[in-house]
Structure 1
Amino acid sequence: MPHHLMNLRHVPDDEADEIRALLEAHEVAYYETPPSRWGISMGGFWVHDDDEAERARVLLEAYHRERQETQRRTYQENLARGEAGGVWFMFRRYPVRTLAACLAIVVIMGLSLLPFVHIG
């Protein structure tokens, strides 16, 4: 019976490439299904064998711990250099784009709530 190792929905290409290289380097017999364009099927990495699944899960756990630390360190470095931040950072750096996004959010919320406002 197939074992689903990892969902590929919203996985960056560099991470998927690193996982493929990791599984191939450790000679894990896996296959891959791509996610659909419309988000209906999730896609992912799969194996058939129970032992391969356990071995692959151990490798993936170690890989994800390492990637989490690397990504966290990169984010902290970007924060220190002033290249990343929250909403206020985006507003200071891209004021027109941020205001346009906020306006779009308000319009969408208004259109979504409009039927309920007319009920009362």
Structure 2
Amino acid sequence: MSVRLLNLRPVPEDEAEEIRQLLTEKGFDFYETPAGRWGISSPGLWLRDQDRLSEAKAALESYQQERCQRVRAEYEELRQSGLHRTWADVIFESPLRLIFYVLVIGFILYLSIIPFLGFGG
């Protein structure tokens, strides 16, 4: 019976591709379920052989630890060279989006507070 190995919803595409490659290299028989047309289904990787689940989880755990160390080292290298992405970069990339969000938040706050401002008068 098949057993779910990994939920792919929070997984970036590059990491998912590396995991697929890892499972193929290790000889695991697996298949993938997509998120569906509207993205409401849960995408995942399923292992066909339930007996190899612990072996697959161990390989996945080892990969995730290696990836974590690699990504942290890459980020630290970018941070030390001054090339990492900051909040200022995000704001300058799309200032109109920031203005829109601030206006929407202000409007929601206004609608939330206005009933209470009228009670005193």
- TM above 0.5, yes or no, is yes
- TM-score, L = length of structure 1: 0.80
Query: Residues 19 and 79 of structure 1: is their aligned pair in 2 closer, same or farther, counting only changes over 3 Å?
Result: same
Q: Which residue of 1 aligns with 2:119?
A: none
Larger-Rg structure:
2
- Secondary structure at 1:64's aligned position in 2? helix
Query: Residues 81 and 36 of structure 1: is their aligned pair in 2 closer, same or farther, counting only changes over 3 Å?
Result: farther
Alignment of 1:44-55 (within 5 A): 44-55=44-55
Amino acid at match of 1:104: F
Paired residues in the alignment total 116
CA contact (8 A) 1:35 1:41 kept: yes
- Secondary structure at 1:9's aligned position in 2? coil
Q: Which residue of 1 aligns with 2:101?
A: 105
- Secondary structure at 2:6's aligned position in 1? strand
1:80 shift after superposition:
1.1
Amino acid at match of 1:13: E
- Secondary structure at 2:4's aligned position in 1? strand
- Secondary structure at 1:51's aligned position in 2? helix
- TM-score, L = length of structure 2: 0.79
- What is the distance in 2 between the residues matched to 1:78 and 1:26? 32
Alignment of 1:5-24 (within 5 A): 5-24=5-24
- Secondary structure at 1:45's aligned position in 2? strand
Q: Which residue of 1 aligns with 2:69?
A: 69
Segments of 5+ residues of structure 1 without an aligned counterpart are: none
CA RMSD in angstroms comes to 2.2
- Secondary structure at 2:27's aligned position in 1? coil
Segments of 5+ residues of structure 2 without an aligned counterpart are: 117-121
- What is the distance in 1 between the residues matched to 2:97 and 2:79? 23
Matched, 1:116 2:112: yes
Q: Deviations over 1:22-48 (max 9, x none)?
A: 101111111101124644222010113
Identity, % of aligned positions: 35
